[in-house]
Structure 1
Amino acid sequence: MACFTVPLAEAVVLTAVKKIAFKRNADSVINEAEMTKNQKIAVLKEKFRILEKMLYGGSFLLAVEHLYHGEISLVPPFLTAMKNPAEIPEMLREMATVGVGMALLTTVVWAAGIGISALVKNLKKKSADGIGLSGAAV
Structure 2
Amino acid sequence: MACFTVPLAEALAVTAVKHFTCRKTLKDAAAFKEKVSVLQKMLFGGSFLLAAEHVYHGEVVFYPPFLTAMENSEATAEMLHEMATVGAGMAVLTTAVWALGLGISALVKRIGLRKQTGAV
TM-score (norm 2): 0.95
SS at 1:22's partner residue? helix
Tell me the residue number matched to 1:15. 15
Tell me the residue number matched to 1:5. 5
Letter in 2 for 1:74: F
Tell me the residue number matched to 1:103. 91
Q: Greater relative contact order (Cα 8 A, min sep 6): structure 1 or 2?
A: 2
Which residue among 118, 128, 137 is the counterpart of 2:116? 128
Identity of matched residues, %: 60
For residues 100 and 24 of structure 1, the distance between their equivalents in structure 2, rounded to whole angstroms, comes to 30
Letter in 1 for 2:19: K
More helix by share: 2
Tell me the residue number matched to 1:52. 40
Letter in 2 for 1:15: T
For residues 119 and 86 of structure 1, the distance between their equivalents in structure 2, rounded to whole angstroms, comes to 49
Letter in 2 for 1:126: R
TM-score (norm 1): 0.83
Q: CA RMSD in A?
A: 1.4
Counterparts of 1:54-133 in structure 2, within 5 Å, are 54-132=42-120
Matched length: 120
Write out per-residue CA displacement over residues 59-98 of structure 1, whole angstroms, 9 at most, x where no aligned residue. 0000000111111001111100011222111000000000
Q: Which runs of 5+ in 2 are unaligned?
A: none
For residues 32 and 22 of structure 2, the distance between their equivalents in structure 1, rounded to whole angstroms, comes to 9
Structure 1 runs of 4+ off > 2 angstroms?
none
Letter in 2 for 1:109: V
